[in-house]
């Protein structure tokens, strides 16, 4: 496995791979990899000849007072998990791209990529400027690594929708793949931020999935009014984690992110909840 830190070196490697007729699968990450990330890497390996996994904690997607400085980091562990995911044979055709922030964002940096409407709701509303940072870094990674395929996880549903639109609107010749959310046995969506939780917080964090599962079961039993679902989801969250603080619970169309009052085919429920001070997000398609 090759570790590349220089942008120019990564560009040169990508050109060489493309010139040899091989395809590139990119998995952008902020590091501190878990089995969810590994599943994306495995998916990319099935779709491309060479896998590039980026490891970069992107400062521009963190707002004031957020956890950029304390975000968990473990580059050595990340490299080991990437190799584990790919296996010995595939690991020889893998690249870890781990650039420095000063190289990605030099002091005179002033160009940003913005997806207008899709980035203004849910996470975009709760975290102003967040998606501008996400779309800009991913556009830069596309330009640097020249992927044929890119794989993102459904756990960050709105992010996937925003980046899919950016890929289409800017004309990138990239196959955009969204892979299923990987969960713990108790349903908790895997996230690097789960590492912040103590034992009690870890158990109570299941309130997100319990509430989503409750909503889906209610829909399957015939309830379609999102107001009814919302009330029950909040009750489930409070019953599981009395100290939980709900940022939002939203019912939207899967593709457009437009809010809906009645659940129909294609409705997804997304939520953000603070559990013991840790902000977690999750989602589930209801119909």
In the sheet that holds 267-275, the strands lie side by side as 245-253, 267-275, 278-285
User: Looking at 34, 37, 130, 276, which residue is catalytic?
Assistant: 37
Q: Which helix (H) or strand (E) holds 116?
A: none
In the sheet that holds 24-29, the strands lie side by side as 2-4, 94-97, 50-55, 24-29, 149-153, 175-179
- Residue 229 half-sphere exposure, CB side, CA atoms within 13 Å? 30
| Residues 183 and 240: beta-carbon distance below 8 Å | no
> Which residue in 281, 282, 279 sits closest to 65, CA to CA?
279
Q: Catalytic residue at 276?
A: no
Q: In the chain, what is the straight-line distance between the N-terminal and C-terminal CA atoms, in Å? A: 42
- How far is residue 251's CA from residue 231's CA, in Å, rounded to a whole number? 13
- Residues annotated catalytic, as ranges: 37
């Amino acid at each position: 496995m090759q570790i590349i830190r220089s942008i120019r070196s990564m560009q040169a490697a990508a050109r060489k791979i493309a010139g040899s007729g091989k395809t590139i699968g990119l998995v952008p990450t902020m590091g501190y990899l878990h089995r969810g990330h590994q599943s994306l890497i495995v998916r990319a390996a099935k779709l491309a000849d060479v896998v590039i996994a980026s490891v970069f904690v992107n400062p521009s997607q963190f707002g004031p007072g957020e956890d950029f400085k304390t975000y968990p980091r473990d580059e050595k562990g990340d490299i080991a998990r990437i190799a584990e995911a790919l296996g010995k044979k595939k690991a020889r055709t893998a690249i870890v791209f781990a650039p420095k922030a000063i190289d990605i964002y030099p002091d005179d940096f002033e160009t940003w990529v913005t997806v207008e409407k899709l980035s203004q709701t849910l996470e975009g509303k709760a975290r102003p400027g967040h998606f501008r940072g996400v779309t800009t870094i991913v556009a830069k990674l596309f330009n640097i690594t020249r992927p044929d395929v890119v794989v993102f996880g459904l756990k960050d549903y709105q992010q996937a929708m925003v980046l899919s639109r950016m890929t289409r609107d800017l004309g990138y010749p990239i196959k955009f793949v969204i892979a299923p959310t990987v969960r713990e046995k108790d349903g908790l969506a895997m996230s690097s931020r789960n590492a912040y939780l103590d034992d009690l917080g870890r158990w109570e964090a299941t309130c997100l999935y319990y509430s989503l599962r409750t909503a889906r079961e209610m829909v399957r039993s015939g309830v379609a009014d999102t107001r009814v679902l919302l009330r029950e989801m909040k009750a489930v969250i409070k019953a599981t984690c009395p100290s939980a603080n709900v940022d939002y619970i939203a019912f939207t169309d899967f593709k457009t992110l437009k809010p809906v009052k009645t659940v129909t085919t294609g409705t997804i429920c997304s939520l953000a909840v603070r559990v013991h001070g840790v902000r977690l997000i999750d989602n589930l398609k209801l119909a």
